[in-house]
Chains A and B, each alone.
Chain A
Amino acid sequence: MGNKQTTFTDEQLEAFQDCTFFTRKEILRLHGRYRELAPHLVPLDYTNSPDIRVPPTLIVTMPELKENPFRDRIVETFSEDGLGNLSFNDFVDMFSAFCETSPRELKTIYAFKIYDFNRDSFICKEDLRRTLNKLTKGELTPEEVSLVCDKSIEEADLDGDHKLSFTDFENMVSKAPDFLSNFHIRI
């Protein structure tokens, strides 16, 4: 049934199926969505794996990401150059990590990367402050933000270095019952 498509070779589709949580049909549909973002840039024929990257300004216009306060960080985390330009590989990778069947460990790793604004593999108070500001869009006063940051780090920090390493983050997230259902983008 899928043999009529000429976007990918069968071998490429097999590779995608093995490396992501999507089926053939979903990968082809994702390619359609990717192409919609920049039709003049993205070719229809991907059999020779062209090296095309869509800039972040176009990617954040997707309805699934448009309203997300962390959209810039998400796109930066999954891009190879760290600036947000996504190739199709990165695009598929991104939605695969957010899909329903993706395991908790993978989601935790990527959540940590997203919230780590300065990419020092620790979530320090400044990272947390930026997270809260994006979450509440300035509804809290600076003192309240500072208080919440201090309390959050106090709650989750296990080794007492006043910032959250990955293990602290993972431990805290494992106690959150809604994490899996919230960290899920439907595409």
Chain B
Amino acid sequence: MARSPQRQSSREEYDYTEEYGSHSDQQSLRLRRVPSRVSNQNPPQFDWSSPHEEEDEEGSSGPPRDLRATPLPMALKRAMRQIQQMRVPVVSSRESWKRKKAKSLRKLKESGRGFLSFFSLWSKTLQKIGGNFGGGVQSYFLFLRFLVVLNFVSFLLIAGFVLIPSIVFRSVGSKLINSTGPEACMEYDPNPQGLVVFYNYFLDLLSGTGFMEYSYLFYGYYNNTMVEDVNFSYNIPLAYLLTAVFYFIFCLICIIVRMGTAARVVVATGVSTVGNYSMIAFTSWDYGCLGDRATKLKQKNIHYGLQVDLEEESMKKRAATLTLLQKIVLYSLRVSMCVLSLGLIIAAFFGIFKATEFSQKNSLQGGILGLFFEYLPSIVITAGNFVVPLLCDQIALIERYAPSNTVIVALLRSVFLRLVSLGVLLFTLWGQITCDGAENTGDCKLCQYNHLIYQCWETRVGQEMYKLTLFDFLINIAVLILVEFPRRMVVDNWSNKLTQWVGRQEFVVSANVLGLVYGQTVVWTGALFCPLLPLINTLKFILLFYFKKITLFYNCRPALKTFRSTTSTFFFLVVLLFGWGLGTVVIIYSVAEIRPSMGCGPFSVFPSMWSIVPMSFQKLSITSQEFLFFIGSQSFSIPLFALSCVVMCYFVALASVYGKSVALLRAQLKLEGRDKQFLVKQIEMLSQSQHILN
């Protein structure tokens, strides 16, 4: 047997003594012996190598893999490897061929992985950030990198299917249907009249009007063309719509795949409870930590973490001893503070509503004042997003939640504020485009949308999103240059009590991530109306990466309250999913319900954007039509639905079974430990009584 030579060789090389005196222990504890790496006295130790030797015997999982994962010194591993190699001829030729294939496949995979890592963006930078500032900050930059790649791939998609065919087929191709409709609705004149002052170009660049409006940037420039050749046809409106739909589905799949890996860790480890001292003691030190400053910081982190836990314990004890009166006071305080923060948020929404209305009414002003009015919604949203969380933080202090709960509550409030403020802006725009939903009254009667204010409403919505994106980016840069750099210079060069109390800027991960989610949500809502927005967003995020890196290394000190990096990744993706949901609602509503502008864009002749799909559908061959009808019909979808329910039930059952077996095994471990103690005591008693007898 292959096992015995190693046992014997290990016995020869190392020696060990037992803690318990009698021989019978030796037999029962035999499996707990191990070749120790130290040649001095040791009590029986856990057998590190035996589980892996077991697998060796079966040989099914490929020996070299086990060899790398065995916790033995290198010399022993090489000896084992030689023994395995000598054993190979005994195995059948088919087995050895399979093993060789598995080995070469593994080598190929590893070299492939090495090749791909060459392409992975910014990996050295991310390592440096992780080493110096910890996992929480690194997860922010990883998230940013994910969004950059997502946006870039989306842009390639859009460019390939919409932009390039539009450019190529601009002159070729015929109109799909000739436009009919009231003359007033078909007016669309994006180009400015008369002499244009030079600085207008700059203003136009910032607000997407003027020379930028009638360009590939916005919906209004794309044409209702269809190219038909001998064996090739390309329907641009259909391509536009289907690309937008596919873009959303693609983003959803990417997010869910990324969530899957993060979720697996979260589910496996369960919800982390507060006060997990052992975890902090054993697993919190980051071995990859580099640099003197970083290690001192890590120590402060751990110290702070332990203190926080100790404090939470004492708070819990205090909370348990509150009298009824104090409890009533505390809960009523919490409720009133909650109402107050809700009131603040609603006030912010009202401000955005009013600002958007005002901006849309006064959008025809020229010059700097006009630019200010154009940007008014963005300004109000940004101001609200800045001021309201600050106030909510102060409110949360009064509420006296446990520290970890405070963070979660503040985060949820900020998410709610950011995403719903964007929703309010969109709602206001909708109200103005469709005359508050009553499409057959007032200004909307003629064209079913407000053609007086909006000759091409899709382009206007696209412009709003473009302005939001640009403004968000400019504000980030402005805060960096005007707030963070001066703050550091003041703190470093003036040392009095005030500056020490204010201190250097802290890199707050949660606020920054919410900024990213907000930016991505704006892109999602605007992608249908401004096809180049993903490209602009890619560039914006790339620049943001470098700017944030610079500010991190020069201006920031790492936060004392660190984020758990694995659970936080999952949380970021969940919030991103909310943003995706908002974008989906907008696109579904615009595609299905609002009448496209008659004066511009590829859908000018259709009653709704969606109606191009049934129209093109009828041009397909009969078999494809029947196949697609079948897929959409009840006789296919109901069995499919039933099947997916069954599969889901299977996985839920599997998960619960695993959970139960884990709990059972844990209980069994406890019992075995107690049994062992009991037996050891019995043995001691017996041996003592034997000694006494003797």
**Residues on A facing B (Cβ under 8 Å):** 15, 18-21, 23, 63-64, 67-70, 77, 79-82, 89-90, 92-93, 96-98, 102-103, 105-106, 109-111, 113, 115, 119-121, 128, 131-132, 135-137, 139-140, 144, 147-148, 151-153, 155-156, 158-161, 165-167, 169, 171-179, 181-186
Residues of B contacting A160 in the complex (Cβ-Cβ under 8 angstroms): 670, 673-674, 677
Complex contact B283–A182 (CB within 8 A): yes
- Given known contacts A18-B64, A67-B295, A182-B286, A177 and B46 CB-to-CB distance under 8 angstroms: no
| Chain A nearest CB, measured from B205 CB (Å) | 43
In residues 647-674 of chain B, which contact A (Cβ within 8 Å)? Answer: 666, 669-670, 672-674
Asked if A159 and B669 sit within 8 Å, CB to CB, the answer is yes
A155 partner residues in chain B, CB cutoff 8 A: 276-278
Does any Cβ of A come within 8 Å of B73's Cβ? yes
B271 to chain A, nearest CB (A): 10
Instruction: Output the least CB separation between A118 and chain B (Å).
Output: 10
Residue B114 contacts which of A18, A23, A97 (CB distance < 8 angstroms)? A23
How far does the alpha carbon of A67 sit from the alpha carbon of B270 in the complex, in Å? 32
Cβ-neighbour of A158 out of B40, B284, B673 (below 8 A) = B673
Q: Distance (Å) between the CB of B61 and the closest chain A CB?
A: 12
Residues in B427-486 with C-beta less than 8 Å from chain A: none
Contacts beyond the supplied A79-B37, A151-B275, A152-B281: 20 A-B pairs with Cβ under 8 Å: A15-B81, A18-B67, A19-B77, A80-B73, A82-B39, A98-B287, A111-B282, A131-B282, A139-B299, A140-B306, A144-B306, A147-B310, A151-B277, A158-B666, A159-B670, A172-B278, A173-B282, A174-B269, A175-B270, A182-B284
- The residue in chain B whose Cβ has the minimal distance to the Cβ of A135 is B302
| Chain B facing A: main interface SS | helix
Could you say which residues of chain A place their CB within 8 Å of the CB of B679? none
Q: Determine the chain A residues whose CB is within 8 A of the CB of B73 once the complex forms.
A: 80, 89-90, 93
B669-A158 in contact (CB<8A): yes
Asked whether, in the complex, the Cβ of A106 is within 8 Å of the Cβ of B290, the reply is: no
| Cβ A63 vs Cβ B290 within 8 A | yes
Determine which of B81, B282, B567 lies in contact with A18 in the assembled complex, contact meaning CB atoms within 8 Å.
Answer: B81
- Is B506 part of the binding interface, using a Cβ–Cβ cutoff of 8 Å? no
With a cutoff of 8 Å between Cβ atoms, the chain A residues found around residue B64 in the complex are 18
Contact present for A172 and B282 (CB under 8 Å): yes
Question: Is B21's CB within 8 Å of the partner chain A?
Answer: no
Known A15-B78, A67-B291, A186-B288; contact A131-B71, beta-carbon cutoff 8 A:
no
Nearest-CB residue, chain B, relative to A111: B282
| Per-residue A-contact encoding for B498-534, CB less than 8 Å = 1, 0 else | 0000000000000000000000000000000000000
The answer to the question of B676 belonging to the interface, with a C-beta cut-off of 8 Å to chain A, is yes
B-chain residues with CB within 8 Å of residue A144 when the two chains form the complex:
306, 310
Residues of chain A within 8 A (CB-CB) of B39 are 81-82
Which residues of A have CB within 8 Å of B672? 159
B565 interface neighbour in A64, A67, A167, A181, Cβ under 8 Å: A181
Q: A169 vs B283: C-alpha distance in the bound complex, in angstroms?
A: 11
Q: Is there a chain A Cβ closer than 8 Å to B582's Cβ?
A: no
Q: Which of A90, A109, A140, A181 is the most central at the interface, judged by chain B CB atoms within 10 Å of its CB?
A: A181
Closest to B45 in A: A121
Interface residues contributed by chain B, number (CB under 8 Å): 72
Residues of chain B within 8 A of A131, CB atoms compared: 281-282
B binding-site residues for A, Cβ under 8 Å: 36-40, 42-46, 48, 64, 67-71, 73-75, 77-78, 81, 110-111, 114, 127, 131, 135, 265-266, 268-270, 272, 275-279, 281-292, 294-295, 299-300, 302-303, 306, 310, 564-567, 666, 669-670, 672-674, 676-677
- Residues of the B chain whose Cβ atoms lie less than 8 Å from the Cβ of A153: 278
Interface contact B285-A93, CB-CB below 8 Å: no
24 contacts between A and B (CB under 8 A): A67-B291, A68-B295, A80-B75, A105-B69, A109-B71, A135-B284, A135-B302, A136-B299, A136-B306, A137-B299, A144-B310, A155-B276, A156-B278, A159-B669, A159-B676, A173-B283, A177-B265, A178-B283, A179-B283, A181-B566, A182-B283, A182-B287, A182-B288, A184-B288
The A interface is mostly helix, strand or loop, or mixed, namely helix
Chain A residues lying within 8 Å of B282, measured Cβ to Cβ, are: 111, 115, 131, 152, 169, 172-173, 176
Docked CA distance A20–B25 (Å): 36
CA–CA, A20 and B64, complex, Å = 10
Q: Top 6 A-B pairs ranked by shortest CB distance?
A: A159-B673, A89-B74, A152-B278, A82-B38, A67-B295, A176-B283
Q: A67-B292, A67-B295, A136-B299 are in contact. Are A183 and B78 (CB under 8 A)?
A: no
A136 engages B278 (CB within 8 Å): no
Bound Cα distance A103, B266 (Å): 18
Question: Measured between C-beta atoms, what is the minimum distance from A114 to chain B in Å?
Answer: 10
Q: Which residues of B contact A185 (CB under 8 A)?
A: 287-288
Contact A152 B277 (CB under 8 A): yes
Within the complex, the shortest CB–CB distance from B280 to chain A, in Å, comes to 8
In the complex, what distance in Å separates the CA atom of A55 from the CA atom of B398? 57
What is the CB-to-nearest-CB distance from B400 to chain A, in angstroms, rounded to a whole number?
Answer: 24
Known: A19-B68, A82-B39. A177 touches B74 (CB 8 A): no
Cα distance, A84 to B279, chains bound together (Å): 27
How far apart are the CA atoms of A66 and B357 in the complex, in Å? 61
Report the separation of the CA atoms of residues A161 and B378 in the bound assembly, to the nearest whole angstrom: 63
Smallest Cβ distance from B87 to chain A, in angstroms? 14
Would A178 and B564 count as touching, CB distance under 8 A?
Answer: yes
Q: How far is the CB of B354 from chain A (nearest CB, A)?
A: 45
Q: How far is the CB of A187 from chain B (nearest CB, A)?
A: 10
Is the CB–CB distance between A132 and B37 below 8 Å?
Answer: no
Q: If the complex has contacts A121-B46, A186-B131, are A178 and B67 also in contact, measured as CB distance less than 8 A?
A: no
Closest approach, in angstroms, between the C-beta of A15 and any C-beta of chain B? 5
Closest residue of B by beta carbon distance from A104: B69
**In the bound complex, CA of A176 to CA of B35 (Å):** 29
| Nearest neighbor of A186 in chain B, beta-carbon distance | B288
**Docked-complex contact B303 and A136, CB < 8 angstroms:** yes
Enumerate chain B residues within 8 angstroms of A147, measured Cβ to Cβ. 310
A19-B68, A131-B282, A136-B299 given as contacts; is B277 within 8 A of A175 (CB)?
A: no
B268's closest neighbor in chain A, by CB? A174
In the bound complex, residues from chain A placing their C-beta under 8 Å from that of B81 are: 15, 18-19
A20 to B564, CA, bound (A): 30
Residues of B within 8 A of A21 (CB): 68
Q: Which residue of B lies closest to A183 (CB)?
A: B287
**Assembly CA distance A119 to B44 (angstroms):** 11
Query: Are B71's CB and A106's CB within 8 A?
Result: yes
Interface hub of B266, B282, B285 (most chain A Cβ within 10 A) = B282
Find the B residue at minimum CB distance from A79.
B37
Chain A nearest CB, measured from B574 CB (Å): 16
B74 touches A140 (CB 8 A): no
Q: Is B266 within 8 A of A177, CB to CB? A: yes
Q: How far is the CA of A97 from the CA of B287 in the complex (A)?
A: 12
State whether B68 touches A20 (Cβ < 8 A): yes
For the complex, what is the distance from the CA of A81 to the CA of B14, rounded to whole Å? 11
Minimum distance in angstroms from B290 CB to a CB of chain A: 7
Contacts of A64 in B (CB 8 A): 288, 290
A184:B287 contact, CB within 8 angstroms = yes
